[in-house]
Structure formats: structure tokens, C-alpha cells
Amino acid sequence: MRVGELSRRSGVSVASIKYYLREGLLPAGERTSPNQAAYDDGHLRRLRMIRALIDVGGLSVVATRDVLAAVDDPDLPLFQALGRASGTTTAAPASVEPEDEPDEAWEQAERTLAEHVAERGWQVSAENPAWRNAVGVLATYIRLGDADLANQLGLYMRTMEEVAAHEVAAVVDRGDRARTVEGVVVGTVLGDTLLAAVRRLAQQHQSLRLLGEAPTHPRG
Amino acid sequence: MRVGELSRRSGVSVASIKYYLREGLLPAGERTSPNQAAYDDGHLRRLRMIRALIDVGGLSVVATRDVLAAVDDPDLPLFQALGRASGTTTAAPASVEPEDEPDEAWEQAERTLAEHVAERGWQVSAENPAWRNAVGVLATYIRLGDADLANQLGLYMRTMEEVAAHEVAAVVDRGDRARTVEGVVVGTVLGDTLLAAVRRLAQQHQSLRLLGEAPTHPRG
């Protein structure tokens, strides 16, 4: 199909398609004349994935390109592709680290996380960007005097251990490597959004139970 | 203290402080002369909270102002303050809804969510922005042919029901209304980031268990 039909079928404007081609998110079509290229269902599928990661998952264009490179590299071991998806930072902040030296709150937060990780027997790397993000939030709780919020860490870890076991098993079950990696990328990034939404619905339900009245919600 | 000391003690630049004052995130100081104002520990605490919500929680300035208004309104019932915090969209996407009419995927996603909610006996409102976000992710899974990822919904709901019960109980336990609302706001927004980080660490641990090798992580 030509770029116009690709645009119509994907709902993505021609200008955006050209931008994704230039930025290397979408592979080039097959050139049929100096000014025309032909695209196939693979391009359509890739375009839908790009929009899902950007629009629904909240990834930047650069992060989307990086994570799609893992999908496209057939030689990348599966566990490394998992790591690449895990390195994306949907809900993760631009700056969690103290600008200068780690302060007392940072060190206390890192000790707390390390103790919990040891207690659960997790084998995780402090080089995983998620480690810094977790420490950053815990340190912020401590600095704000909200240490009671940091007490949720054990509960988060126990529940996420169960969630992650099902998530990893489900994508490995797909068998086909390319489909597995796609599932990892989409499930990791969009799963953040789904989990955050489900958490808010659960909070609404539990507020009603505990406070006897439902929170109201501004539209927005 | 003067604005210079407030800047030094908070680590926030004078320019940013003046911006937050103009935008109504930070209440004005007490005017001591036509060109000077005095600030107190309340301003310092508020500044730290603003930076936590923006830098660590990933909220926009506008969303931060809206949610702080709930903290500042002593007449706002607690359950409504919970709803206000819940309406913030840390990990939530700009556009999850189909641009035109809801398509078949959207309707199927909404039916799936409604069935799960009924099954768990949750009392939640379809006007909660989190409802749309959850439906948006599920619909995207369906459109991408990743319906197996949508199967995680039941697991997410069961685990988040337990998490939310502890979270709501913990902040209610604070007793003092202002401290409770602060806890709701900070815990809801930063909790998304912490939960996403813990999920990635758990995925690393489970990948190692299931695939026999740890994912490696690019620094980033």
C-alpha cells in the first residue's frame, strides 16, 4: 500500500508517518519509484504499536525507538530484551537523585530497599534504573516526613512478585521470540498505565468501604 | 525567612519559587516592605511537596496546582480529597479514547472491565478518569492482537484491592485531616512511580527464575 492508505488504515497522519520514518521508528517501505514507496501489514502493525507506546504508554519518541530496536534485533537474547523494556521509564521521573552527594534520606532509603530485597530473596541489580527510581521515591517520602508511606514497600514487593511471575510466564508462553518481545514491551509499558488506573479504582472502592462515602471525581 | 534563604534551604531556585508564586502553587509570603516578603516553614514544606509531585511524581504544574488546592481547602470532605488525588494522571496517557466513535475494541474492553468490577463487587464510578484509562489500555491490547495481556486484569484487580486497602487505612490513621490529605496526594502520585519501579525489579527477579538468566540493563 502507499503512504496515504497506510495513513488511512492506521489513523496516523502522513506527516507523523514521515516523522517516524526519519527518526527510525518505522522501517522504510519498498521504493517503487523515486518518489514513492510501498508499505505492508508489518508497517501497519508497527505503526499501531508506536502509537500505543507513545499515546497510551506515555513513552517519548526516543524511548520508543530504543525499545523497538530490541524488538527488531533477532540476536538480542530474550532476557536482554526484557531488560531493555524494563529500562523504559513510563511512570518514572526525570530526576529522582539528589543533585549533589546522596543525602541521609537517600542512604536510608537505599538501605531499606536493600533489606527488603534481601528478605524476599530477589536477585536484582542496583544498575537496573528501577532501583534508582524506587530509592528516589522512598527518599522523597523520608524528606517530606511521610515515612509511613514508605512502609507500603513490603506490600508492593509481595504483590508485584506475584504479578511479575504471571506476566513473565504469559509472554514466554507465546513461544515465538518476536511475539514474546513485543508482548514484553507492550505489557511492560502499557501495564504501568493499567496498573495505576486499577489502583485508583481500588482506592475509590476502599475509600467507600472505609470512609462510608465514595470519592467524587472531577472530569478531566 | 527571605526568598533567598527559602531557595537555599529548599534547593529550589528563586526563579522557580517566583514562578510557583505566580501560578498559585505556593501561597504568598507576608509582605514586609514593597519589595520584600517573609516566608516560614510552611512555605518550605510546601515547596518540597511541589518538587516531589513534579520531579518524582511526574505531575504537570497545572495538575500539581489542582491537587494542592484540595490540600488547602479545609471544607473539602476527605472522600472528595481522595477523589481529587485519584483524578491526577501520573502514568495516565494524554489520549486513550478513540478520536471518533468508540470502536468494537473499546466496547469489548469496557464490557470486560465492567464484568471484572461486578465480579469483585467494587463500587466504582465510570466517571472516575481511571475508568477511561483502564478501558483505553485494554482496548489497545485488543487492537494490537495482544488479548493475552488483557488477561492480567483480574490479577491486577485482586492485588490492587489489597494494596489500596492498606493505603487508605494508613492515611486515615494519621488522624489530622491536613496530614491525611497530604498523605493521600503524595502517596497516590509518588506511589505510581514506586509501584512501577518495584514491578520492574520483580520482573527482573522472575525473568532470572523463569529464563535462568538475568536481564541486563542499559544505564539510562
Model pLDDT for residues B23-59, shown as the tens digit of each residue: 999 999 999 998 889 999 999 999 999 998 888 887 8
Indicate whether A179 pLDDT > 90. no
Q: Which of A92, A194, A214 sits opposite B156 (nearest CB)?
A: A194
Instruction: Read off the pTM.
Output: 0.85
| Residues forming a β-bridge with A31 | A37
- Which of A88-92, A122-126, A183-187 has the weakest average pLDDT? A88-92
The whole-number average pLDDT for the span A152-158 is: 96
**A217: confidence class by pLDDT, cuts 50, 70, 90:** low
Of B45, B55, B82, the CB nearest to A94: B55
Q: Confidence class of residue A102 from pLDDT cuts 50, 70 and 90?
A: confident
Of the candidates A51, A210, A89, A208, the one whose C-alpha atom is nearest the C-alpha of residue B128 is A208
Partner residue opposite A202 with nearest CB, options B58, B161, B203? B161
Which A residues, 112 through 151, put their C-beta within 8 Å of a C-beta on chain B? 117, 122-125, 127-131, 133-134, 136-138, 140-141, 143-144, 146, 148-149, 151
* Contact in structure between B157 and A202 (CB atoms under 8 Å): yes
CB A140 within 8 A of CB B52: yes
Three-state DSSP class for A189? helix
CB burial of A14-31 (b: ≥16 within 10 Å; e: otherwise) equals eebbeebbeeebbeebee
Given a contact cutoff of 8 angstroms between Cβ atoms, the answer to whether B193 and B58 are in contact is yes
Q: Which residues of A touch B97 (CB under 8 A)?
A: none
pLDDT at B90 over 70: no
> Considering chain B, what is the average pLDDT of its residues?
85
- Output helix, strand, coil percentages for chain B, rounded to the nearest 5: 65, 5, 30
Phi, psi of A122 (to 5 degrees): -75, 140
DSSP string, B104-152: HHHHHHHHHHHHHHHHHT----TTSHHHHHHHHHHHHHHHTT-HHHHTT
Contact B90 A91 (CB under 8 A): yes
Q: Do B140 and A56 touch (CB under 8 A)?
A: yes
Q: How far is Cα of residue B173 from the mean position of the Cα atoms in its chain?
A: 20
Residue A105 is placed in which grid cell? 534520606
Residues of A in contact with B99 (CB under 8 A): 11
Q: DSSP letters of B6-45?
A: HHHHHT--HHHHHHHHHTTSS---EEEETTEEE--HHHHH
Q: What is the DSSP letter of A173?
A: T
A122: distance to nearest CA of chain B, Å?
6
Burial of B45 by CB count in 10 Å (0-12 exposed, 13-18 middle, 19+ buried)? Answer: middle
State whether residue B55 sits within 8 Å of chain A by CB: yes
Confidence of residue A111 (pLDDT cuts 50, 70, 90): very high
- Out of A52, A82, A196, the one facing B192 most closely (by C-beta) is A196
Chain A / chain B CB contacts < 8 angstroms: 394
Provide the shortest C-alpha distance from residue A80 to chain B (in Å): 5
User: H/E element holding A178?
Assistant: helix A177-211
CA-based nearest distance A213→chain B, Å: 7
Summarize pLDDT for B127-167 with one digit per residue, the tens. Answer: 888 898 899 999 999 998 888 889 999 999 999 999 999 99
Question: In angstroms, rounded to a whole number, what is the distance separating the alpha carbons of residues B63 and B174?
Answer: 25
- CB B191 to CB A199 under 8 A? yes
- Can you tell me the mean pLDDT for A65-90? 76
CB pair distance less than 8 Å for A198 and B79: no
Q: What is the pLDDT of residues B182-209, one digit of tens each?
A: 888 888 888 988 999 999 999 889 988 8
Instruction: Indicate the range of A55-69, B72-86, B167-181 predicted with least confidence.
Output: B72-86
CA A59 to chain centre: 8
CA–CA dist B204, B206 (Å, integer): 6
Kind of pairing, strands B30-33 and B36-38? antiparallel
- Which residues between 165 and 204 in chain A have a beta carbon less than 8 angstroms from any beta carbon of chain B? 165-170, 172-174, 182-183, 186-188, 190-204
C-alpha cell at A16: 507523523
B86·A127 Cβ contact <8 A: no
Interface of A with B in 63-122 (CB under 8 A): 77-84, 86-87, 89-96, 99, 117, 122
How far is residue A151's CA from residue A148's CA, in Å, rounded to a whole number? 5
Higher pLDDT, A102 or B146: B146
Q: What is the mean pLDDT of residues B118-134?
A: 89
B112, B162, B217, B219, best to mutate vs chain A, most A CBs in 10 Å:
B217
Residue A182 CB contacts under 8 Å (≥ 6 apart), including other chains: A49, A71, B146
